[in-house]
Amino acid sequence: MGAQPDVFAEAGERARRALVREMEAYGVLRDPAWRAAFAAVPRHLFVPYYFVSGVRGYERVWCDDPDPVRRDRWLRGAYRDAPLATRVRDGELISSASQPSLMARMLEALAPRDGDDVLEIGAGTGYNAALLAHRLGDGHVTSVDLDEEITESARTHLAAAGHRPAVITGDGSRGCPERAPFDRIVATCTVPSVPHAWLAQCRPGALVLAPLSTGLILLRVRDADHAEGRFLPTSAYFVALRGGGTRTRRPRGRPMGLPRQVFEDEGFRFLRTLAEESLDTREALSLWQRERRPERERFGVTMREARQWAWLDDPEGPYAWPLPPG
């Protein structure tokens, strides 16, 4: 049987144009190639349903709702510049569709060139892989996810949108050696540290972009044992990477006596999470105040053989913190 016709194609195209205009107003989509990708790829095909939180927990919103008002609500939500909860198990969010403007910032920072091979860690709905495939071609894109249900639905969504990149079920912390080498690796899930296995699957000069702490680290790979880079300016919150080689960081509560406005400050939260292996909250606060609330761009990560560490201003400077083994 052939693909089913997209009954929301016309309305989706109008909503897509509005979303692109909105993102341009935010200062993203400066690259015409990515603007064309977001204008062409129908996001609603990748989120036939999603969940919104309410007083009774998560409520499912879907494309086949018999109520036309609720169907319209679903379509409008699909093109809102916001993340969408797409998979919930036992009340826990396990997969989501990222905010489009954040995706655009990440793709523009990743800056793949024609002919580059890209590995995506975390298939999600397949939407990010579709954007990459539109830009580079299906054969240059590989997406890996641990959950077979997620990879299967991502393949279905991609096929509905006319794309067939490689979508593989596997442990993303181990990369995808059978499809290596890669020129770019992008993770759409938070990692406690960058897995060393990824470096061995990169060509020299490759870029690795991954959510770490509450930011986005962009590393330039020198070889299988060395990489270094700085954080992007933007904050980023993603579902944690699941796999045998990672551990999940548990959020810590606010210590007594620490003002709420400090505890909830984005910059302080970033430092506190990044350096939690070495600094307690008070030490992190002292450093944060002494360095006049440093922006994310002042922080970086170095990977050297079996070690990796985060740092402020200088990889060999006085402020450096070991990260968990990758």
In a domain, 285, yes or no: yes
Structure tokens at 320: 């450096």
- What pLDDT, on the 0 to 100 scale, is given for residue 253? 63
Instruction: Specify the pLDDT at position 1.
Output: 39
Considering the domain architecture, whether residues 165 and 271 belong to the same structural domain is answered as no
- Rounded-to-10 torsion of CA 210, 215, 218, 221: -60
User: What is the pLDDT at residue 89?
Assistant: 83
Convert the pLDDT of each residue in 154-175 to its tens digit: 999 999 999 999 999 999 999 9
| pLDDT band for position 2 (cuts 50, 70, 90) | very low
Query: 134 and 61, same structural domain?
Result: yes
Does 305 reside within a domain?
A: yes
Domain that holds residue 150: 9-231
Are both 309 and 164 inside the same structural domain? no
Q: How far apart are CA 30 and CA 322, in angstroms?
A: 36
- Is 309 inside any structural domain? yes
Residues with a catalytic annotation lie at 95
CB atoms under 10 Å from CB of 140, counted, come to 20
Strands of the sheet with 141-145, listed across from one edge? 166-169, 141-145, 118-121, 182-187, 202-212, 215-223, 226-231, 299-304, 307-312, 320-322
Q: Is residue 243 included in any domain, yes or no?
A: no
Q: How many domains does the chain have?
A: 2
CATH of the domain at 25: 3.40.50.150
**153 & 286 share domain:** no
Residue with tokens 């403007």: 101
Q: 302, 304, 307, 269: which is closest to 288 by C-alpha?
A: 269
Kindly indicate the confidence band of residue 262, based on its pLDDT and cuts at 50, 70 and 90: confident
Structure confidence by residue, pLDDT tens digits, 74-95: 999 999 999 999 998 877 788 8
pLDDT computed for residue 18 by the predictor: 98
